[in-house]
Every structure is written in structure tokens, then in C-alpha cells.
Amino acid sequence: IQPTTVRGTVLNSWKVVWVVLADDAIEYYKKKTDNSPKGMIPLKGATLTSPCQDFTKRTLVFKISTAKNQDHFFQATHLEERELWVKDFKRAITCLQGGKKFARKSTRRSIRLPENVNLSELYVLMKDQDNGVKELKVEKDKRLFNHCFTGNTVIDWLISEGKARNRPEGLMLATGLLNEGFLLPAGDVSKDGAEKGAECVFLDQTEALYYFADSGFFCEGYSSDEDVIMKEEFRGAIIKQGCLLKQGHRRKNWKVRKFILRDDPAYIHYYDPTKGEDDPLGSIHLRGSVVTAVEYVPDAKRQEVDGNLFEIITSDEIHYYLQAATADERNDWIKAIQSVAKTGK
């Protein structure tokens, strides 16, 4: 289940939708919280084309052609995500061709995972910044993998934390995390293991790379079909997001903007909250910036804005004035931005 971009069949426009792979169809929703799908694409007799080169100005596109020769186009946010979608869609189509229904979540039965094992809790522990599995930058085959870790590191961690008694037991848990989508394969070795059979196989190897599903993972220097991987500044993990008042640079008026703070690279993007997160209104590179609480803003009238103000001064001395709703919220933003500005690239 993921948000992705789909091309409409009537107006030929692209819209962000929430996509769900069911056992015999693709359902897509306007929002994740919607109860009924906006549309459904039957997979029986369908074919998949990836990469799809029908659109010269769009990358990471793949196409589903139904048995009735209707074409549906999807665009992923990054290369790894597209490959994961394509893998599962192909499996579903293959299952239907053999007269079976695609059932992705059969992990407990297939690997005999004990009922008392909570994979969600295990995943949270693995992601702990102090005691969890450490994310690394790994250079391999002229590619740089960011925010990833090796297969044997995961098994080592499971044993050291008392979650597994031995390596076979650790391998069972790691395979469960992989099949449930908590861990994802990065690089050719781990992907080959994940695609061998009906169920993904986790590899206890130094050559096999993996990453957390909601991390800031990205790979540089690699493209299977000359796709442009997501713009550098959007690759970082999201540290904090929320709405703030921002002063405009030209008219000096104040408007509510949604801000998303990312780390490695250190950027904060701001958006019109009424128009979604497809196109930011602007971005602030935070590396080397200074952020401080302020009592007033030059060129601002006291009755326009008062209290909970702070200022970001970038390394090239551009000033941004923002206002939080409460003093605590201002402090939280300042701490988060200061941390990212010091550690992010």
C-alpha cells in the first residue's frame, strides 16, 4: 500500500492517489482514509510494461494494460519504489494466470513465525537511533547506497539484543520483516534473494544490502533505464513537519505554509497547505544556517504578528521569519532545525 501518481484516462491528467494491491486487482483511492476506491483495475489477463517510455518528460513510469486493452499509467516517487511495485504486480499477474489469487501476506504460515512475535514492535526497536541497527553509506559497484545496512548486521543485532538465539532463528525473523515490507532490498544481491520464489528470502551476507521502509534511502550513480532519481534535496528522511506562519520576501505579508524538514541533505521545504505536497513553493538549504528565537520582525506591524517568532539565516545570509502557534512548538522547531543544520550535508 503506497501513494503514487496515476494518469487519468479521461482528462489525461496526473493525480496523486493511494494504491492498494488486492488479490486480483489494483484499487486506487483519492486519500488513504477513504472507505471506497475511486477506481479498480482488474489484473487477470493484464500485462505490465516497465520502464514505460510513452512520456518523454516523466520518469519512473510503468504501464498496466488490461485484458480489454485499456492502458493505465503509474509513476513512482523513486526508482526503488517503482521496482517494488513492479515486482508485486508481476507476481499478482502470474498467480492469476495460474488460476490462483495473489496473497502477499502469508508470512507467518510460510516461515512458521511464532504467534507471539510482534514484527511491528521489533521494527521500532531496530530503528532506535541509539540501540538499533546503524544505517550506513555503502559504496558498491560504482554506486553509493545511503541509509542502508548489510544482511549479516541485522542477524548480529537480533542475536545481540536477545531477539534470536542463533542465526537460523534470526534469519526467520529477518525474513518475516522483509516479507511484511518493514525491510526492503537494496542492490542486486538482496533483490535476487527477494525475487527467487513466492516469498522473499533474507540473506545473512555482507554483500546483501537492505534499508528501512520509511527511511531516507537512496542510491546514487545508478539507473536501470536512464531514469532521473529523485531530486537530491528531497532524498533525506523527514525529521519534522507542520504548519507555520511565514513572512513573504517581497510583500512582507504573512501566510500559513506547511513545512517539511529533511535531514541528509539538510533542507526545509514549504508548501501551500491547500494544494498538497506535489510542488513546493520554495526550499531552504539549512547546512551552516543559524536559527534563533526573536521578539520582533523588521518591517512587520505589531498587530500583524506577535509572539513565538523565530528566524532562519542561511549560509548565504538570506533571512526567513516564521511564527509557531505556541512557545513549545517554536522551541521544537528551533531544536530540530539546529540539529539538521549541524549534521546534515
For the chain, domain boundaries: 4-106, 119-220, 235-343
Report pLDDT for 300.
61
Residue 95: pLDDT over 90: no
pLDDT tens per residue, range 113-130: 677 788 888 988 998 888
Would you say residue 251 has pLDDT above 80? Answer: no
State the CB neighbour count (10 A cutoff) for residue 57. 4
Q: What whole-number percentage of the chain has pLDDT above 90?
A: 27
9: pLDDT strictly greater than 90: no
pLDDT class of 213 with cuts at 50, 70, 90 = confident
pLDDT for res 78: 66
* Fold classified for 235-343: PH-domain like (2.30.29)
Higher model confidence: residue 160 or residue 263? 160
Peptide bond into 37 cis (omega under 30): no
The DSSP 8-state label assigned to residue 134 in this structure reads: P
Query: Could you identify the residue written with the cell 526497536?
Result: 125
pLDDT reading at 162 higher than 90: yes
pLDDT at 38 over 70: yes
Highest mean pLDDT among 97-111, 182-196, 214-228: 182-196
Q: Which fold has domain 4-106?
A: PH-domain like (2.30.29)
156 pLDDT band, cuts 50/70/90, is: very high
Q: Does residue 267 carry a pLDDT above 60?
A: yes
Give the Cα separation of 31 and 86 in Å (integer).
22
Q: Is 341 helix (H, G, I), strand (E, B) or coil?
A: helix
| CA distance linking residue 178 with residue 232, whole number of Å | 27
pLDDT(180) > 90: no
| Phi-psi sector, 5: left (phi>0), alpha (psi -120 to 50), beta | beta
CATH topology match: 119-220 vs 235-343: no
More confidently predicted of 223 and 43: 43
258-274 b/e (C-beta count within 10 Å ≥ 16 → b): bbbbbbbbbbbbbbeee
pLDDT at 111: 53
Report whether pLDDT(170) > 90: yes
Q: What is the pLDDT, as a whole number, of residue 265? A: 82
Residue 307 CB neighbours (<10 A): 12
Q: Does domain 119-220 have CATH number 3.40.50.300?
A: no
Query: How far is the C-alpha of 169 from the C-alpha of 171, rounded, in Å?
Result: 5
- In sequence order, the 6+-apart residues with CB closer than 8 A to the CB of 312 are 268, 284, 286, 289, 290, 291, 319, 320, 322, 337
For the chain, first and last CA: distance in Å? 31
**SS3 of the chain: helix, strand, coil, percent, to 5:** 25, 30, 45
Which residue did the predictor score with more confidence, 145 or 100?
Answer: 145
Beta bridge partners of 73: 63
Residue 186 CA neighbour count, 13 Å, CB half: 31
Q: Look at residue 75 and tell me whether its pLDDT is greater than 70.
A: yes
Q: What's this model's pTM, rounded to 2 decimal places? A: 0.43
Which pLDDT band, with edges at 50, 70 and 90, does 331 fall under?
very high
pLDDT the model gives residue 32:
67
Model confidence at 182: pLDDT above 50? yes
